[in-house]
Structure 1
Amino acid sequence: MTPPNPPGVFVTEKPSGVRTITGASTSIPAFLGYTRVSPKDHPEATPEPYTNEERTVPQLIRGWREFAVRYSMEGLAKELTEARTAQERNALERCFTLAEAVYGFFANGGQSCYVVGFTDPTRKVAATALAGSEEGRTGLGGLVTEPKVTMVAVPSLWEMTRDVPTVEPLPAVTEQEGKPLIEAVLKHCTGMRNRLALVDPPSGLLPDAVKAFANSQLASPNSDDAAYTALYYPWLTVPGVEARKRTVPPCGHMAGIWARTDTERGVFKAPANEVPRGVLEIPVLLTDEEQGDLNAAGVNCMRTFPDRGLLVWGARTRSSTRDWQYVNVRRLVCFLRDSIQQSSSWAVFEPNDERLWGTLRHAVSTFLMDQWRQGALVGRTPEEAFYVICDGSNNPRETQDKGEVHCDIGVAPVRPAEFVHFSIAQIAGQGAG
């Protein structure tokens, strides 16, 4: 028996029963590249640098300083200044490629990323090694159990195609050598369906060669893989993390710009017309005609404009289909999919009846209404922007008997104004009097 209460006001809290959907993460990339422990690390470094074994599995990094300490950047910089042979210098430079990508990410607005290392920079990496193992958490396989990853970049990809050169200047790589590695990355992203690959062409290519590379070495624009592929050109000249100027692939800087745009505007905003931070110059200055050809091939370009400086001037995937032609549309749908999936697990094993259907309808509709109000969905009214169907029409008795609940969702993503046209006409002035 409940004991009697003295006179007064008593408050009892009860759950509302309302279910909500929380937005999933969109701004966390994974970088894969060469790294190794340096014997010249500072003996009192805090926190301690990762061991070689720890570097081969995904590690969450929350800032450049943490990366620099954990991945032996101070020791590697000392080794590089003291290197005597071309092979030693080239092997150390391979470790700096990953570091420059991570630095570019944080410099451009990124907050956290995962790093997966390959600890022998003198040896090439086979496609099977890059694919790695889900059980051993190595390579791309190690990222399968990291659901927050939404971008995948391999800044060291073209160095991974061969053993470290023993001569200088470095011999050029062939595009065909990188194709198996790129295919491994695209297979991973397409299979996971919640992340895009940021692909870099080989260094030093001219515009016509980049177009040929995109059309011959990457997945067909009609394929599923193309919708998860973003290609950026050209490479970027940066000051260098240890004050030695070098030209690096753009994937790290672009991952940071994607994250910055997500924070400032939202994942629905195309990550273009943005300034890449920490870049000195680009080695190739494109004309409008050259970019027009590259844009049609799904290549996103960096352009320098008078009085405006360096800008990212493209936001396309490699897909030629209308639904997945733009990076922000593909990423928005990934975001919606992950958010709804992650926030609806409560529905498993609930009674499969109208009460459950109504709760799901309400939760999803409220979430999509918020997205529409933020500008992610196009339409003058919510009815034009999205629909949610979860009732007896798509959950007949035979579906219920199987223990299934079907919730059909349709959205109208906003697409970027990639081409803005103005029509200007002269009108006759009015006569005096």
Structure 2
Amino acid sequence: MPNYLTPGVYVEEVSSGARPIQPVGTSTAGFVGIAPDPSIRPHEPVAINSWSHFMRVFAPDPAKTESTHLAQGVHGFFLNGGSRCYVVNCQDENQLTGNRKGLGALETIDEIAIVAAPGFTSAAAYDAVLNHCEKMEDRVAILDGPQSVDSINNLTKVATAKATKKKDEDGESSSGDGGGLRPRNSDRGYGAVYFPWIVGRDPNNRSSLVPMPPSGHMAGIYARTDAQRGVHKAPANETVRGALNVSYRVTRQEQAELNPQGVNCIRFFPREGIRVWGARTLAPAASEWRYINVRRLFNMIKESIAESTHWVVFQPNDKDLWMGIKRDVSAFLTQIWRQGALFGSTPEEAFFVQCDAELNPPEVRDAGKVITRIGLAPVKPAEFVIFQIGQDTGGAQTEEQA
């Protein structure tokens, strides 16, 4: 308190105590792959804000460079609604999985929320990208299914980094995956896989139609959905811009086998065109993390709270602090609920925040800790829409159920 010595009127600015929690971004992507010019800025995360920016950096002389899966993915990202990404140029898969090369270079970029390695479909590449996202816990992996498969049944088999080797007819060593395998499970849903590849115009040669890995286009769809609806909206039933066809036309019966296995299909429909027709993660089918929008929503909430509550550190660990934490977190989650991301007709039904003496007894406070428990009821997608139709004596009767 200042000392008042002269009689008069004094006006003081008094803090209200509220420290709003700001939501972090969810649409910045990180791409790892082989650039059109592999010699340019290798193993360095380069911020890219447009397709023309990518070409200026990684293909300064387009006439002397060829298109790569990385270029196709970055082009698809911006074409489908992406606005910012980081690109790491690697010469081969060994550099992709290297500790401080490829994926390792993305660990220092906090704003990345989506990671893709377009065109890399080996068991080792799948495992490396999933390991990276599971380690960071603030981003999800978008993985490409194999470019071709011997059968849909083979696609549902799980690929492992210890895939056995066999000799082909020419005596060369090759992976014995039987025509392309599904990535391993990610128990907490830090990855999603999409099949099949799409067919579109090569961004480096517009007169040529080529098969392209879908991960870059999907990253753009994630960003577009976030901007239009929010991270809680599943990035599904969305048009894939730039896709003129698919490399394999999945049937309804085939998707019935793939969907429970966490393989998201890109389907061709005669009237709707080419659309994303799946929203599953690589978590087990019975897991609470089986939907990609739920995983990404929790990622956003976790990081937003962590980044906006640094003020708590070294504060007196008493009831005033507990009330301040509860107030700020509850205000943030109320905002998230109003956006439609949490289920419930009232905030009390949608979430709870507990920070009190029960969670913070003397032994916890003596250890220098303050514990807050948060429970959320996320909105999940209407994956199966069922119309039950019957008749009564008065005519037709329709009951709608979602």
Normalised to the residue count of structure 1, the TM-score between the two structures is 0.80
Q: Which of residues 76, 86, 96 is equivalent to 1:130? A: 96
What is the percentage of aligned positions where both structures have the same residue? 42
- Mapped to 2, the partners of 1:219 and 1:288 lie a distance apart of 22
Q: How do 1:244-255 residues align onto structure 2 when only pairs under 5 Å count?
A: 244-255=208-219
Q: How many residues are treated as equivalent by the alignment?
A: 370
The answer for the alignment partner of 1:79 in structure 2 is 64
The answer for the alignment partner of 1:229 in structure 2 is 191
- Mapped to 2, the partners of 1:415 and 1:331 lie a distance apart of 12
Q: Does 1:402 align with 2:367?
A: yes
> For residue 235 of structure 1, what is the amino acid of its counterpart?
W
Q: Are 1:372 and 1:385, in contact at CA under 8 Å, matched by a contact in 2?
A: yes
Q: Are 2:33 and 2:96, in contact at CA under 8 Å, matched by a contact in 1?
A: no
Q: Which of residues 116, 136, 154 is equivalent to 1:209? A: 154
Residue 401 (structure 1) shift: 0.8
Partner SS, residue 311 of structure 1: strand
Partner SS, residue 274 of structure 2: strand
- Mapped to 2, the partners of 1:66 and 1:305 lie a distance apart of 34
- Mapped to 2, the partners of 1:141 and 1:305 lie a distance apart of 39
Q: Does 1:382 align with 2:347?
A: yes
Q: Are 1:30 and 1:152, in contact at CA under 8 Å, matched by a contact in 2?
A: yes
> For residue 240 of structure 2, what is the amino acid of its counterpart?
P
397-406 or 378-387, which deviates more: 378-387
The answer for the alignment partner of 2:107 in structure 1 is 144
Residue 394 (structure 1) shift: 0.2
Q: Are 1:37 and 1:71, in contact at CA under 8 Å, matched by a contact in 2?
A: yes
The two structures, once aligned, show a CA RMSD in angstroms of 2.4
Residue 194 (structure 1) shift: 1.1
The answer for the alignment partner of 1:298 in structure 2 is 262
Residue 214 (structure 1) shift: 6.2
Q: Does 1:157 align with 2:123?
A: no
- Mapped to 1, the partners of 2:263 and 2:152 lie a distance apart of 10
Q: Are 2:155 and 2:182, in contact at CA under 8 Å, matched by a contact in 1?
A: no
Partner SS, residue 68 of structure 1: helix
Q: Which structure carries more strand by proportion?
A: 2
Q: Are 2:51 and 2:75, in contact at CA under 8 Å, matched by a contact in 1?
A: yes
Q: Are 2:107 and 2:136, in contact at CA under 8 Å, matched by a contact in 1?
A: yes
- Mapped to 1, the partners of 2:374 and 2:183 lie a distance apart of 29
- Mapped to 2, the partners of 1:201 and 1:287 lie a distance apart of 16
Q: Are 1:34 and 1:156, in contact at CA under 8 Å, matched by a contact in 2?
A: no
Q: Are 2:88 and 2:102, in contact at CA under 8 Å, matched by a contact in 1?
A: yes
Q: How do 1:216-295 residues align onto structure 2 when only pairs under 5 Å count?
A: 220-221=184-185, 223-224=186-187, 227-242=189-204, 243=206, 244-295=208-259
Q: Are 2:146 and 2:196, in contact at CA under 8 Å, matched by a contact in 1?
A: no
> For residue 259 of structure 2, what is the amino acid of its counterpart?
N
- Mapped to 2, the partners of 1:218 and 1:156 lie a distance apart of 14
Q: Are 2:199 and 2:212, in contact at CA under 8 Å, matched by a contact in 1?
A: yes
Q: Which of residues 344, 367, 381 is equivalent to 1:416? A: 381
- For each residue in 1:257-316, what CA deviation from the matched residue of structure 2 results, as whole angstroms up to 9, or x when unmatched? 001001100101000010011111112112110111010110000112232111110000
- Mapped to 1, the partners of 2:146 and 2:237 lie a distance apart of 24
The answer for the alignment partner of 1:162 in structure 2 is none
- For each residue in 1:154-180, what CA deviation from the matched residue of structure 2 results, as whole angstroms up to 9, or x when unmatched? 01424xxxxxxxxxxxxxxxxxxx112
Q: Which structure carries more helix by proportion?
A: 1
Which aligned runs of 4 or more in structure 1 are off by greater than 6 angstroms?
Answer: 1-5
Residue 13 (structure 1) shift: 4.2
- Mapped to 2, the partners of 1:147 and 1:69 lie a distance apart of 25
- Mapped to 1, the partners of 2:394 and 2:305 lie a distance apart of 59
The answer for the alignment partner of 2:17 in structure 1 is 17
Change over 3 Å in CA distance of 1:323–1:429 after alignment to 2: closer
Q: Are 2:123 and 2:159, in contact at CA under 8 Å, matched by a contact in 1?
A: no
- Mapped to 2, the partners of 1:275 and 1:199 lie a distance apart of 18
> For residue 408 of structure 1, what is the amino acid of its counterpart?
R
Q: How do 1:2-13 residues align onto structure 2 when only pairs under 5 Å count?
A: 13=13
Partner SS, residue 369 of structure 1: helix
Partner SS, residue 259 of structure 2: helix
102-111 or 194-203, which deviates more: 194-203
- Mapped to 1, the partners of 2:256 and 2:373 lie a distance apart of 38
- For each residue in 1:109-132, what CA deviation from the matched residue of structure 2 results, as whole angstroms up to 9, or x when unmatched? 0110010011x4xxx432xx3233
Q: Which of residues 134, 158, 166 is equivalent to 1:190? A: 134
Residue 71 (structure 1) shift: 0.9
